């Protein structure tokens, strides 16, 4: 891909897909039309990620807070998601893309969840690109669940309280077997993380664009990756320390 250094690509990109409703409102359409257009952007971003060789892509598809939306919109979202899973299944398999679910199954319509689980099973052995769909997900809820699981093991005598470290807690999260996001993209210009991967994005680079999600396609995605490559990631270190590390001879 022009302008991208394949040696400096992020391993894991996470995207907060925002702006479907505003996109529809600008065009005097209902919100469902915005979600339908947004589904096309999901397809484009997954295809681009596979083409350039990303390893992990996490998409914030439906949050715990989204249950507060009007019932008709929620039902339309689930049916749209079901159609998307059906239509994309052959493409996911052909391109050897692994699909995973991050979030809870509670509340997701049974027929939708069954379709989703079938796709997850059929792609579980692929390793070209892993797409995590954060569906019925909340960052605080995920951390609370992780802490609860650790506490239950302490109560059962399997662990001791003093064993708790950031690394141990991380091993109880839904992303335990993958790297933390290097880059978080948020569309529509909003400057907040909206309860998304709160633990995992501690040192992620943030990229905020005014582009509404239905207009976010390959060109916008590649520009976000270019911006990522223009930045110096410090992880709390000074630029002098980073320079010394780069100049140090290999061990």
Q: Is residue 184 part of a domain?
A: yes
Q: Is the pLDDT of residue 121 over 80?
A: yes
SS3 content of the chain, % helix, strand, coil (to 5): 50, 15, 35
pLDDT band at 245 (very low <50, low <70, confident <90, very high): low
Question: What pTM, to 2 d.p., does this model score?
Answer: 0.92
> How does pLDDT run across 151-203, given as a tens digit for each residue?
999 999 999 999 999 999 999 999 999 999 999 999 999 999 999 999 999 99
Q: Looking at 16-25, 97-106, 135-144, 229-238, which range is the least confident one?
A: 229-238
pLDDT at 127: 93
User: Beta partners for 217?
Assistant: none
Q: Is 199 labeled as ligand-binding?
A: no
Q: Is 35 labeled as ligand-binding?
A: yes
Q: Is residue 111 part of a domain?
A: yes
DSSP-derived 3-state class of residue 102: strand
Region 117-145: mean pLDDT is 97
Q: Is 64 labeled as ligand-binding?
A: yes
Contacts of residue 85, defined as CB under 8 A and 6 or more positions apart, other chains included, come to 112, 115, 116, 119
Print the domain residue range for 120.
6-247
Could you give the C-alpha distances from 71 to 3, 50, 63, 74, in angstroms and in order? 44, 34, 15, 5
Q: Is residue 1 part of a domain?
A: no
- Looking up residue 94, the CATH number of its domain turns out to be 3.40.1180.10
What are the φ and ψ backbone dihedral angles of 209, each rounded to 5 degrees? -125, 145
pLDDT at 77: 96
Q: Which residues are the active-site residues?
A: 18, 66
Q: Is the pLDDT of residue 249 over 90?
A: no
In terms of DSSP bridges, do strands 12-16 and 183-186 run parallel, antiparallel, or are they unpaired?
parallel
The count of structural domains within the chain is 1
């Amino acid at each position: 891909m022009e302008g991208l250094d394949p040696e400096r690509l992020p391993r894991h990109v996470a995207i907060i897909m925002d702006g479907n409703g505003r996109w529809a409102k600008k065009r005097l359409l209902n919100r469902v039309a915005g979600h339908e257009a947004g589904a096309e952007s999901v397809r484009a971003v997954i295809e681009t990620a596979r083409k350039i060789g990303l390893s992990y892509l996490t998409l914030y598809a439906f949050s715990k807070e989204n249950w507060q939306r009007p019932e008709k919109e929620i039902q339309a979202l689930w049916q749209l998601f079901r159609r998307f899973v059906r239509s994309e299944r052959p493409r996911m398999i052909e391109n050897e893309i692994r699909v995973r679910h991050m979030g809870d199954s509670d509340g997701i319509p049974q027929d939708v969840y069954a379709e989703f689980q079938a796709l997850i099973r059929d792609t579980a052995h692929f390793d070209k690109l892993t797409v995590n769909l954060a569906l019925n997900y909340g960052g605080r809820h995920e951390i609370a669940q992780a802490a609860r699981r650790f506490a239950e093991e302490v109560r059962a005598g399997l662990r001791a309280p003093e064993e708790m470290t950031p690394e141990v807690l991380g091993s109880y999260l839904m992303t335990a077997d993958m790297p933390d996001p290097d880059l978080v993209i948020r569309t529509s210009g909003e400057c907040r993380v909206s309860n998304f991967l709160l633990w995992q994005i501690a040192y992620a680079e943030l990229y905020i664009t005014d582009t509404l999600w239905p207009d976010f396609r390959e060109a916008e995605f590649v520009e976000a990756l270019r911006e990522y490559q223009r930045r110096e990631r410090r992880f709390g270190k000074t630029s002098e320390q980073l320079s010394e590390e780069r100049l140090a001879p290999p061990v």
